[in-house]
Structure 1
Amino acid sequence: MKVTFRRGLGVRGKARLGLVARLSARGPESIAGLAGSVDVSRQAVTKHLHVLSDAGPVRGFRRGRQHIWELEPGRLAKARDYLERIDAQWDVALERLEQFLPDE
């Protein structure tokens, strides 16, 4: 899985994280509902959701006239598995490092 880190996310990153957290806590929701949960315009929420959709953690679909957004469980599971592997690698690396450090 390719993971990309971008510098300078700033407020935009916080808004996107807030949208993901809201979808995680409440399930699928319309843009209007999501816009009420963050301190940005509906247009900005729409843009953030499209960026998140391109990255993979959310997906949108039509329900009548509304555009509904939800988390993409498969992509989140892949991200979780990747982070668990990285966590295990760090544990091994730290154990090796402890072998070289003097005892106090």
Structure 2
Amino acid sequence: MVNLQSPVLDRTFAALADPTRRALLARLDAQGGVSVSDLARPFPVSLPAIMKHLDVLSDAGLVTRKKVGRTVTCQLKAEPMEQAMNWLAKYERYWTEQLDRLAAFVEDDSWQASPASPSSAASKRRRKKSTKPGPSRKK
């Protein structure tokens, strides 16, 4: 039986589920070590809210923080995402196979080459002609 319980994987996906946290990770990826206040600046939420998001990312192992004096600097740590990528890769193979089968079906012209049956022309719906309006009811 496959063990589907993985606390590391659960924390990683939970951390990545929020768009603000994904944006924080993207900024850390682009800029490297960034202070918390600089990291929080472009977001329309308070600094304590950003700190809570960073706590979730830290608990998932996706961010490390280092304090020098009064400045806390954050750094991206992408290793926990490797397990998530491995888990997703299994499903990528499945969808690749399914899409390849669909492409082969669509590119196959044999299903279009069959002549229409004689009854198909007779069974097409014909457009109704409009009729004159009936007499209106008087009260």
Aligned residue number for residue 17 of structure 1: 22
Residue 32 of structure 2: aligned partner: 27
Query: Are 1:57 and 2:34 counterparts?
Result: no
Percent identical residues: 34
Tell me the alpha carbon deviations over residues 20-73 of structure 1, each in whole angstroms, 9 at most, x when there is no partner: 111111112111111112111111111110011122322222233322111112
AA aligned to 1:26 is Q
Q: Could you state the TM-score of these two structures normalised by the residue count of structure 1?
A: 0.70
What RMSD, in angstroms, separates the aligned Cα atoms of the two structures?
2.9
Secondary structure of the equivalent of 1:33? helix
Aligned equivalents of 2:53, 2:92: Cα separation in 1 = 29
Asked if the contact 2:67–2:73 (Cα under 8 Å) also holds between the matched residues in 1, the reply is yes
> What is the aligned partner in structure 1 of residue 52 from structure 2?
47
Unaligned runs of 5+ in 1: none
How many residues matched? 99
Q: TM-score, normalised by structure 2?
A: 0.55
Segments ≥4 residues shifted beyond 6 Å: 97-102
Report the Cα offset of residue 93 of structure 1: 3.9
From the two aligned structures, give the one with the greater helix fraction.
1
